[in-house]
A and B are shown apart, each in its own frame.
Chain A
Amino acid sequence: MSGTTDTTTGGRPGVPSWLLAPAALGAAFVLLPLVAVVARVDWTDFGSLVTSEASRAALSLSLRTSLVSTLLCLLLGVPMAVVLARLRFPGQGVLRALVLLPLVLPPVVGGIALLYTFGRRGLLGETLEVLGVQVAFSTAAVVLAQTFVSLPFLVVSLEGSLRSGSERYEVVAATLGAGPTTVFRRVTLPLVLPGLFSGTVLAFARALGEFGATVTFAGSLQGTTRTLPLEIYLRRESDVDAAVALSLVLVVVAVVVIGVARPGRAAS
């Protein structure tokens, strides 16, 4: 019992009342479009629209690629966050800014950049082509695009956690005789687990919603590269009801993801 449930603003400084109106306006601005999507759904055909072959292929592809790219984000992002949070080296600030660039870059630009890297005539693509690896138009290209845009979410989230106090415990662990690997495994990782978890969920959500880089870099083919957002965009051309129904599916998935990764959930 620590008295966290007082419903009055009793002992607290309180919020200026004139902030409430714009706050409510902002909330309405975000929520209303979601309500509009729900209101626009054609419920009688909803089942058949979201279970059509194309829809299922897109949803399944989206889930599979997002899971793989989230895994890639973990494999690459965790070491990146640790290096950025714990080491000091020249050019670190610049490196961090560049690594986080996909966060603010229009995804289409990311797609173009990936194209000139992994594309057939790209920086690495030519070598890959010689080795018999074709990235463009493959599911691997989707995964690359998703990883590119979601990696910074994981890195930012984890780096923040790493900087919020776990370092002192690492020092203690080292003086108790734990080598760097033991410290990382038994102290650092458990301590940043909440941040790692929310970062992972955010990365997954971002991967799931990825559109611009995918459409620019990977192409669009049912079952191979046409993820749910691409399917929704294409369906708008011919079948608006299907596009709306699939949009609702993505909204629901997003709500679930945010619910799972709600910040502060891990705080006790």
Chain B
Amino acid sequence: MSAATGGALELVVDVPERDVRVELAVAPGETVALLGPNGAGKSTVLAVAAGLLRTGASRVVLDGQELTGATFVPPHRRRVALLAQEPLLFPHLDVLENVAFGPRSAGAGRAAARDRARHWLAELRVAELAGRRPAAISGGQAQRVAVARALAAEPGLLLLDEPMAALDVAVTPALRQTLARVLADRSVLVVTHDVLDALLLADRVVVLEGGRVTEQGRAADVLARPRSGFAASFAGLNLVAGTWRDGAVVGPGARLHGTVGDDAPAEGGEAVAVFRPSAVAVHDEPPGGSPRNALPVTVTEVEPLGDRVRVRAGELSADVTPHSAAALDLVPGSRVVFTVKATEVAVHAR
């Protein structure tokens, strides 16, 4: 971790009127993803951490300083920055002044604040937008500026509330990669719905359901072996983690070609291949001469899922029609081949 940031957070959120009771900690330099369905209390947790919601029994300790109770510290003295779904750039200030807002509020002179703002705009790869008005830039650019603005305030803890939910899917991979870079070594609590955010940004995942923590652990572990209902549905996507070699993700017993986005892995680097169960076809033997990815598996479970049937094989799953499930005579123990087109597989660097 960098010496300037610190950011050891101990958090006890107790809001009986919303039935939220959560304890969690963020170690210095750690990024924790907060997952959960709508209404699980994720935003409540962020509001308490930021000091926007004050309740008697909640406790926030940042770097050993008690921020709650008799010595309640208001939001502006907490060094806790909050980045929401929408960038919320101040419309009356240009991009540079937006980013310089935090340093200026902390008492920095105009020139020093602008220097710091330029530094962070460059870090977020949007230095050329400095003179623009927020209304004149795209949503993805605005969110980058908002991240720069939050970081320029030099927060001890950064709170991200679904930072990419409102963005065009075309721009999220690049922003995610930038975030992964600038958030490394910072204390971050990020609320997300996106499996990739959890996997690629977070060191640790905390699953929140009905106002309680139902599961937590290393991001990869929770997603690979979900125990909570939400994590399971969240992990409904097929993930194959491995190494990036010769244009394929090579994992245990699998070799997957896919579509590489802006966050391309380096040769020999860690990578993850992601695909939807509905993109998977099931065969009783490898289809000859097909360009598809083929994964030989043993069926572990077959269950109805709406008008489809979900076929599980260890950590992978495929959704097929009841008709083909019957035709293939799928039962636990069946040895089959999952195939998926390379165009249906997204490859990301880890």
Contact = CB atoms under 8 A, between A and B. Distances in A.
Interface in A38-67: none
Nearest to B75: A174
A176 B135 contact: no
Nearest to B152: A176
A179 B76 contact: yes
B79 A177 contact: yes
A179 B78 CA distance: 11
A256 B52 CA distance: 44
B92 A175 contact: no
Interface residues of A, number: 20
B105 A177 contact: yes
Interface residues of B, number: 27
Interface stretch (A9-17, A136-144, A182-190, A211-219): A182-190
Contacts of A182: 76, 105
Contacts of A173: 76, 90, 101, 105
B82 A190 contact: no
A172 B84 contact: yes
Contact of A178 (B50, B80, B101, B159): B101
Interface string B84-108: 1000101111000000011001100
A265 interface: no
Given A171-B82, A175-B76, A177-B106, A191 B101 contact: no
Contacts of B84: 168, 172
Contacts of A175: 50, 52, 75-76, 78, 80-82, 150, 153, 155, 159
A5 interface: no
Given A171-B82, A179-B76, A186 B101 contact: yes
B149 interface: yes
B229 interface: no
A106 to B, nearest CB: 40
B153 A190 contact: no
B39 interface: no
Contacts of B155: 175
B74 interface: yes
Given A176-B81, A177-B106, A182-B105, A171 B75 contact: yes
27 contacts: A168-B88, A171-B75, A172-B84, A172-B88, A172-B90, A174-B52, A174-B75, A174-B76, A175-B78, A175-B81, A175-B82, A175-B153, A175-B159, A176-B81, A177-B102, A178-B76, A178-B105, A179-B76, A179-B105, A182-B76, A182-B105, A183-B76, A186-B90, A187-B90, A190-B90, A190-B92, A268-B135
Interface of A: 168-169, 171-180, 182-183, 186-187, 190-191, 193, 268
